[in-house]
């Protein structure tokens, strides 16, 4: 008999916890809520068939610190981060430490459910879910100008900074950014960052080194 699948929901926002629990329960998933990272660490079952939906910004122990503490305690549950503040350095740090996904709030419900299901069904150690060869093939399909925009974008430069670097307008950068995301089937910036890390185009410890 297969063990019950569990989603640990760690978020200090009660409204977000309640709506997320309702979403998971509506598709038959058991969700266990925690209002703090410390409470989760003390109560979670490391051997459970589970994944962790973890908010980045929380009072006390933030999501990245919870992730670090999980690793220290040998808790190897897949982690999916959610955040309303998905700036590039945070995303890179999360992926580097083994997060399986990073979803921006307010999240798309189907995107979240798909990500959770993929995490629960994965029997491997948590890794970024992009293979180097597959990503390189996708990136090869970008036009030269799209590639020019892609790299500084995942390095954390603003649209205005990219426009100045390339000698084009901010509006043109916006256009190319949209085209890049569409071509790579990326719903959000964290997905692009994950691809860049997988392809070896950025150094997670020094984003602007390459």
Secondary structure of the chain: what % helix, strand, coil (to 5)? 50, 15, 35
pLDDT in tens, 101-156: 888 888 888 888 988 988 888 644 334 445 667 778 888 888 888 889 998 888 88
Decide if pLDDT at 210 tops 70: no
pLDDT at 183: 85
Phi, psi at 5, each rounded to 5°: -85, 135
Could you confirm whether domain 132-209 is CATH 1.10.10.10? Answer: yes
Q: What is the pLDDT of residue 206?
A: 52
101-104 β-sheet, strand order: 30-34, 5-10, 49-55, 79-83, 101-104
User: pLDDT tens, 44-100?
Assistant: 999 888 999 999 889 888 898 999 899 899 898 999 998 887 677 778 778 777 788
Work out the average pLDDT over 188-208. Answer: 71
pTM higher than 0.85 for the full model?
A: no
- Asked if 142 contacts 183 with a C-beta cutoff of 8 angstroms, the reply is yes
Architecture of the 5-121 domain: 3-Layer(aba) Sandwich (3.40)
Which of the two residues, 203 and 198, has the higher pLDDT score? 198
State yes or no: pLDDT of 192 exceeds 50.
yes
- List the chain domain ranges: 5-121, 132-209
């Amino acid at each position: 008999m297969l063990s019950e699948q569990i989603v640990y929901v760690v978020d200090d926002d009660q409204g977000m916890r309640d709506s997320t629990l309702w979403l998971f329960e509506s598709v038959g998933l058991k969700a266990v809520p925690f209002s703090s990272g410390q409470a989760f660490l003390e109560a979670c079952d490391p051997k459970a068939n589970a994944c962790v939906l973890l908010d980045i910004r929380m009072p006390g122990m933030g999501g990245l610190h919870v992730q670090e503490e999980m690793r220290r305690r040998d808790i190897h549950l897949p982690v999916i981060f959610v955040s309303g503040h998905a700036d590039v350095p945070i995303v890179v740090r999360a992926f580097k430490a083994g997060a399986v996904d990073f979803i921006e709030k307010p999240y798309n419900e189907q995107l979240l459910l798909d990500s959770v299901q993929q995490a629960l069904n994965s029997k491997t150690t948590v890794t970024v879910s992009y293979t180097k060869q597959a990503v390189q093939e996708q990136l090869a399909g970008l036009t030269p100008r799209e590639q020019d925009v892609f790299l500084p974008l995942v390095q954390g430069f603003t649209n205005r900074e990219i426009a100045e670097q390339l000698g084009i307008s901010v509006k043109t950068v916006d256009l190319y950014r949209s085209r890049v995301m569409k071509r790579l089937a990326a719903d959000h910036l964290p997905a692009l960052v994950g691809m860049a890390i997988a392809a070896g185009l950025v150094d997670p410890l020094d984003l602007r080194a390459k």
